[in-house]
Amino acid sequence: MRLEILTPEKKVFEGDVTIATFPGADGSFQIMDNHAPLISLLKEGIVEYKGKGVNENIMITGGVVEVLSNKVILLADGIVQS
């Protein structure tokens, strides 16, 4: 599936992943290939995504995620730099 991570300032990531974990407002959840359509609010926490040659964790300050037609778009309020 295709994952895009965007903030108001820039595109943080765009690429193919096999699984992504998000800090949902009611608890963390995972998205995998061919997931049902979904829109969810996110709270501050770690977003983890994995795929061939990709294994990343980023800390977001909140946001919204949309899943549609095997494409996942994360609109993050901000990214916490470590």
Q: Quick check: 54 and 45 in contact, CB under 8 A?
A: no
Q: Quick check: 71 and 2 in contact, CB under 8 A?
A: yes
54 CA to centre of own chain: 13
Per-residue confidence band for 53, with pLDDT thresholds at 50, 70 and 90: confident
Question: To which residue do tokens 């494409």 refer?
Answer: 71
Question: Kind and range of the H or E element at 72?
Answer: strand 71-76
Which CATH architecture describes the domain 2-70?
Answer: Sandwich (2.60)
Q: Please indicate, yes or no, whether the overall pTM of this predicted structure exceeds 0.85.
A: yes
Rounded to whole angstroms, the Cα distance separating 80 from 82 reads 6
65 CA to centre of own chain: 6
User: Domain residue spans in the chain?
Assistant: 2-70
pLDDT (tens digit, 9 = 90+) per residue, 18-52? 999 999 989 999 999 999 999 999 999 999 999 99
